[in-house]
Chain A
Amino acid sequence: MQLEKSTVWQEGFLERLEQRKPWDSWEVYKMSYTIAKKQLIDSFTGLQSLKYLPCVKPLGHQLEVAERVIGEMNGKAILADEVGLGKTIEAGLILKEYLIRGLVKKALILVPASLANQWVEELHTKFHIPALLYKKNYELDYVDVVVMSMDTAKRSPHKEKVLAQDYDLIIVDEAHKLKNHQTISYKFVENLKKKFCLLLTATPIQNDIFELFYLVTLLKQGHLGNYEEFSSIFSTKKRNAEQEEYLKELVGQVMVRNRRQDTGVEWTKRKVQAIPVEFTSSEKETYRILSKLKEVSPVFADSFTTLTLQREMCSSQDAVFVTLSKLLEECTSPQEKEHVNAIMRQLVQQSTHSKADKAVELITQANDKVILFTEYRATQLYLSDVLFSKGISNVIFNGRLSKNSREWIKHLFQQKAQVLIATESGAEGINLQFCHHVINYDLPWNPMKLEQRIGRVHRLGQAHDVHIYNLAVQDTIDDHILGVLEGKIETFEKVVGELDDILTTR
């Protein structure tokens, strides 16, 4: 065992005996002893940090997570609580505890750029941890707790600066972004020394079980065996209930997941409604023609293009229009061009969209604040016009907004506008508990994106039941997406645990 001691005090004492320096005050000496006694960490277990955090009142499940991660999981864990249960608080508690216990001196917190300021602020105000937001040219030698955007950190020359430091604790927020082991982010985190490590994500599986394998392996190599063994057992084709149960248990050793219902907090309900939309006959016709474009020209040959056009048609004519006009430039023969032009004329003639009409109807019925999510920028602008024309006030929110504009838009939505029209990229990290209607105008392929969207509204502090409307056009690609979503939800629940309601059709 290592025994560490210093002789600094002894040397200072001898200096005073030889009268080279003055003695100190007895009163201050006694105070110093009393302080040392009061700050003593008298037990290996339990959270010392609580007495240092009078401004934070952690909830029961947050305390349990912090205790379990430190006591049982040795400070290496995936924090996978459902959205809105306070993973940041849990991570803050763990960081604070390790700082107080002297086990962590330097910590690195990797987050999406849009959340960086929020992290710094929470660490300061709630945890009294002087975290610094990394800026280019910062020297990391003198900064103990640093918050960095992942996109900056993984690139030179910042990457080299990070790797040169000796961090005791690494925290990664929105860790589902590391699901692909071939990305630069994944490789970057893989190369960091992880004495203690917290990966935060509400959605450890987004599409398939291998994402979880890579996430766990990033945290603790070998915990789920190596890739060959894992893939031979858990290929998507053959399923085995017993092995899935075993996997769930293994995952449980490195992952904590609280669900809203087991938090002891009274949660408002989620009321999910599937809203079928029927195309008009002219919309059906356009959809049919778009689906057949691949037969007309090689420009439309790949299945992804068809899929995109189909999805866009289920969203708005404007969305299709944008894509078609780009593709038109690639068309060479006059026949092709004329065919595409004809479709575009058709699109322009259709002055309404059945889904948009349905959305207006839902918003009018709700007669309350509504947040509406679309996948397309063109649809976002189109819907904004439609709503204005019906006298419904609305604001637009997307990933291109700066931090200040985001705050401003949020403020406008809270104070003035009835509807917030958001694209996916805008959904991260904003909290809108004052709103309790969510319209999923377009469905994403990934159920966790839906969960993240709903989580903007259905989180701690929500006082009302939350109404969720999933719009899908019948007999189109929307139906297929619903089917895929259900399959992915099933995988998630088998291995990670139950999910709160996202879809109704189960």
Chain B
Amino acid sequence: MQPQEINEYLHHFFRNSNCEILTQHPHYMNVQLTIEMDKKIMNRPFYWRYIETVGETPNPAKLMLITDIEQLRDGIKGEVLHIGSPRLHQLFRVTREMGSFVKMHEQVSSDEVLTPWLGVNVKVSYRSHQTKELLYSLGINLMTGAVFQDFQETLCTLDLVNEPPEHVFHLPFIIKPQRAFERLDHVINQLIEKEDHQWVDEAKKRWRKDQAVLDYFYEGLDEKPNSYEIEKQAIAERFMPRITIDIINGGLFYLR
């Protein structure tokens, strides 16, 4: 993420979470946090407990965030944000938390029929002594059960609104959510199966090799000491191939 992208992201993020942007500049911004946001990111539970107990006027923090320190001349002091800085990653986490579930409708003229879809964005992580991640965006038609990939990309081309348009008929879903989850699980498993899994063989190969070296060290001992067990465990943790499936976010979408 370039400084400009970070600036745009912050702007977007604070506007969408109702925090007033007091000063807007290409290289920095001054933000008045809402009470809710202060509680989320300023890490001062005692302050808030005190204010609420005593009933004093709350004073949520203002933040001066610098997105491009190199372009700034002296005088501006604040937190420097760049990709990798803890504050930015904290905001990323809050973004994920605040954007997990949506229900959206396609903007259409009246007398049209909208079909329900369940959309999910899924991160699949392969882990052994190394890591690789894949992101899938899947949408399942809750009338027919058909599943499409790159669903999010499609959604972004549509005009979506929060409130259902008037005089439009929403089909009730035939496939219940629980069924849809199961179907999506199945599709994800299939997608994973189709991937190249040489990494599993590689991890197992290295695992066997390290284990052999360890066994050799303790060869001939009837009762292996504790240090053997510790190292055996360490080797297993290092190379054990595992796959995690993590839903980033998802929602119910009524589409034409």
Contact = CB atoms under 8 A, between A and B. Distances in A.
A149 to B, nearest CB: 23
Contacts of B135: 36-37, 40
A403 interface: no
B2 to A, nearest CB: 10
A195 B100 contact: no
B85 interface: yes
Contact of A102 (B9, B131, B252): B131
**Which A-B residue pairs are the 6 nearest by beta carbons?**
A222-B217, A52-B84, A28-B99, A101-B131, A2-B242, A32-B99
Interface residues of B, number: 75
A1 B200 contact: yes
Interface stretch (A11-19, A312-320, A355-363): A11-19
Given A2-B242, A10-B177, A222-B218, 17 more contacts: A1-B241, A2-B240, A2-B241, A10-B247, A13-B101, A17-B252, A24-B100, A29-B100, A33-B99, A41-B132, A42-B133, A53-B84, A74-B238, A168-B237, A191-B226, A225-B217, A226-B217
A289 interface: no
Contacts of A101: 127, 130-131
Nearest to A223: B213
Nearest to A101: B131
B48 interface: no
A29 B99 contact: yes
B13 to A, nearest CB: 7
Interface string A45-87: 1000001111100000000000000110011000000000000
A26 B162 contact: yes
Interface string B40-77: 00000000000000000000000000000000000000
B149 interface: no
A36 B137 CA distance: 11
B174 interface: no
6 contacts: A3-B242, A26-B102, A28-B98, A32-B96, A51-B83, A225-B217
Contacts of A30: 99, 156
Interface residues of A, number: 65
Contact of A31 (B9, B104, B131, B210): B9
Interface in B200-256: 200, 206, 210, 213-218, 226-228, 230-231, 233-234, 237-252
A145 to B, nearest CB: 12
B184 to A, nearest CB: 10
B102 A5 contact: no
A130 interface: yes
A376 interface: no
B214 A52 contact: no
Interface of A: 1-6, 9-10, 12-14, 16-17, 21, 23-33, 35-45, 51-55, 70-71, 74-75, 101-103, 128, 130, 168, 190-196, 217, 220-223, 225-226
Nearest to B189: A3
A10 to B, nearest CB: 5
Contacts of A74: 129, 206, 210, 238-239
Contacts of B156: 30
Contact of A222 (B100, B125, B214): B214
Contacts of A39: 92
A75 B234 contact: no
A102 B127 contact: yes
A9 to B, nearest CB: 4
A494 to B, nearest CB: 24
B242 A1 contact: yes
Nearest to B153: A33
Nearest to A35: B92
B86 A12 contact: no
Given A16-B103, A30-B156, A222-B216, A25 B129 contact: no
B144 interface: no
A24 B199 contact: no
A190 B228 CA distance: 11
Nearest to B3: A54
A39 B127 CA distance: 16
A193 B235 CA distance: 10
